[in-house]
Amino acid sequence: MPEKKQKKWIWWKHGVFYHIYPRSFYDSNGDGIGDIPGILLKLDYLVNLGVDAIWLSPVFKSPMVDFGYDVTDYYNIDPVFGTKDDFIRLLHEAHKRNIRVVIDMVLNHTSDRHPWFAESASSHDNPKHDWYIWQKGNKFKKPNNWRSVMGGSAWQFDQRLQEYYLHTFFREQPDLNWRNKEVREAFMDIFRHWLDLGVDGFRLDAVNMIIKDKKFRNNPGLLTGVLWRRRWFTRNQPRSFKIVKQLRKLLDTYDDRMMVGEVYTLPPGDSEMAGNYLKSGDNAMHLAFDFSLMFKPFSARKYFKAIDRWYASIPEKGWPCHVLSNHDLRRIISKYGKGSSKYKRAKVAAMLLLTLRGTPFIYYGEEIGMQNTSLRRSEILDPLGKKFWPFYKGRDKARTPMQWSAGNNAGFSVAKPWLPVNPDHVRINVEDEWKDTESMLTFYSSLIRLRKEHSALFAGQWVPLRMGLDGVIVFNRISTDEKLLILLNFTSREQALSLGSSFRLEVLLSTHKVPHEKMETSLIHIESFEATLMCDLSYFETEQFR
Ligand code: NOJ
């Protein structure tokens, strides 16, 4: 066998990320809410799972109207999550275990209780008045037709000032004015503070919304269809790209840090737009989320098309990342049907996520197959769910406590959890799944381990062979020293797959085939919902290795 050529390991490119929603991960102090010391207690779980980095949804001081995405103090930790010392301890302990820590930076808005906003709203002449986006108007006439993501107008009238302020999200989240130099400088200081403390990176919340049209023009009307849906004048304004570049410059003055942007596009899955935020690949965002797969039905053809489009959107020096679920949408497994076949589909998706070229992000609980929790009206805490019930029940369903065991409160807390635990925790939980060789957790951890061991997986080329035809995706991952073959059957149909010529293959991991089994064949039989990762042993017999 040829000598293994070691690729340079770049943690945010080649590693696996794990997204923690801190309220729901592990409660260390018995108040029913997850916290930072709780994450500390579960670090070894993350080591066993094999992840390389964690991204924490916001832990800054917050009145929690939007559960942390409404910040009142960017320099301190909310007491519900612990103290700044706890956070520093987390950094230290995570780093000791080779796990990087990425925090969520909420840029577009603050809480309406942030002292900046109090000053801004105190008078027209206050020096911070211009830190937020105010427009003249009267009670009966809104400045324009801009809509809030959370429903209704994006403008809130302030009686005292007789002006409107803009809120792209809830009215308790006034939008900052990023055209104001002092706002930009204030954030540069905040970034510096956390970088100096040793944070490894940032997830930039709603980064494509931070700049709005200078002239406050109406978004094109409904009749213009796609134009309207894109929110032409409130997203992806040229200036946002400049700001991202400025942030990159700051990060580049530190060693080995990164940022990943939430580029939420309308219509969802506008991969080209997400790709634009990488600019030339090494001068803007390190990574940007493309949410296409979250919105696609489980179809090999549709998944393939989305992936292909995403890859085509990545600049030459850029790098893709992939995600199946997060705290804003439903849990991916709950999209995959009702019966037991959804677990089979979820394994196919897991193998795809962890064998694609690009950094995988796993949402807490995805690795054990946690599904949406159905909640009663009285249990809903997300203001969105309260507002739109029963038509839309909000985001709580995908934020319920991590299921550590079959025991009380799923082993998450000794107290009543802030959101109910899913009753299925008696079946779906970390403790039992670690013991079960067929479990989702065992499957995820094996995939993560293999991804680490095989440079073809973490850094190799992606060569598609079957592009969703007949419900099957097949591709190679190739590095200088190995060639892997990935077979994914998105359907319940068994089929025979012709490889063209004969190959010597060894199974590395499979939902159906026996690990380490070797075969020499030109025709592979694939079972219903089979996901198989194989090593192409013939590769070493090719010209280049003679
Ligand atoms: C996107 C976050 O993911 C979501 O949870 C939040 O409500 C909005 N941004 C506003 O910060």
Say if residue 107's pLDDT is above 50.
Answer: yes
- Of 411, 427, 443, the position where a domain reaches its end is 427
- Domain membership of residue 2 (yes or no) is no
Rounded CA separation 200/483 (Å)? 32
- Domain membership of residue 473 (yes or no) is yes
* Ligand 1 centroid to residue 230 C-alpha, Å: 18
In the block, which residue shows the tokens 């063209």?
Answer: 500
**What percent of the chain shows pLDDT beyond 70?**
96
Structurally, the chain folds into a number of domains equal to: 4
Which pLDDT belongs to residue 544?
A: 55
- Domain membership of residue 20 (yes or no) is no
For ligand 1, say whether the CB of 106 is within 6 Å of any of its atoms. Answer: yes
Which pLDDT belongs to residue 225?
A: 60
For ligand 1, say whether the CB of 146 is within 6 Å of any of its atoms. Answer: no
- Domain membership of residue 275 (yes or no) is yes
| CA-proximal residue: ligand 1, atom 5 (nearest) | 328
* Ligand 1 centroid to residue 326 C-alpha, Å: 11
Are both 280 and 211 inside the same structural domain? yes
507: domain CATH number?
2.60.40.1180
Residue 416 neighbours by CB under 8 Å, 6+ apart = 32, 409
- Of 293, 323, 353, the position where a domain reaches its end is 323
For 161, phi and psi rounded to 5 degrees? -80, -15
Distances in whole angstroms, Cα of residue 15 to Cα of each of 11, 195, 199, 361, 403: 5, 20, 16, 9, 24
Are both 234 and 314 inside the same structural domain? yes
Say if residue 334's pLDDT is above 70.
Answer: yes
- The predicted model scores a pTM of 0.97
- Domain membership of residue 364 (yes or no) is no
Are both 211 and 156 inside the same structural domain? no
* Ligand 1 atom at minimum distance from 168 CA: 10
Q: Which of 328, 386, 392 to mutate to test the pocket of ligand 1 (most atoms within 8 A of CB)?
A: 328
Please check whether residue 99 is in contact with residue 51, taking contact to mean a CB–CB distance below 8 angstroms.
Answer: yes
- Domain membership of residue 71 (yes or no) is no
* Ligand 1 centroid to residue 347 C-alpha, Å: 28
Calculate mean pLDDT across residues 355-380: 98
* Ligand 1 atom at minimum distance from 328 CA: 5
pLDDT band at 4 (very low <50, low <70, confident <90, very high): very low
Q: Which two tokens stand for residue 255?
A: 């060693």
Are both 162 and 222 inside the same structural domain? no
User: 3-state class of 523 per DSSP?
Assistant: strand
Calculate mean pLDDT across residues 376-399: 97
194: domain CATH number?
3.20.20.80
Distances in whole angstroms, Cα of residue 198 to Cα of each of 103, 144, 258, 394, 522: 11, 43, 12, 35, 52
For ligand 1, say whether the CB of 60 is within 6 Å of any of its atoms. Answer: no
Q: Which domain holds residue 384?
A: 372-427
For ligand 1, say whether the CB of 66 is within 6 Å of any of its atoms. Answer: yes
* Ligand 1 centroid to residue 66 C-alpha, Å: 8
For ligand 1, say whether the CB of 206 is within 6 Å of any of its atoms. Answer: yes
Are both 249 and 299 inside the same structural domain? yes
Which pLDDT belongs to residue 32?
A: 98
For ligand 1, say whether the CB of 506 is within 6 Å of any of its atoms. Answer: no
* Residues known to be catalytic: 205, 262
If you average pLDDT over every residue of the chain, what do you get? 95
Please check whether residue 395 is in contact with residue 327, taking contact to mean a CB–CB distance below 8 angstroms.
Answer: yes
Are both 189 and 291 inside the same structural domain? yes
* Ligand 1 centroid to residue 270 C-alpha, Å: 18
Instruction: Return the minimum-mean-pLDDT range out of 38-47, 221-230, 428-437, 528-537.
Output: 221-230
User: 3-state class of 26 per DSSP?
Assistant: coil
Instruction: Return the minimum-mean-pLDDT range out of 41-55, 258-272, 480-494.
Output: 258-272
For ligand 1, say whether the CB of 205 is within 6 Å of any of its atoms. Answer: yes
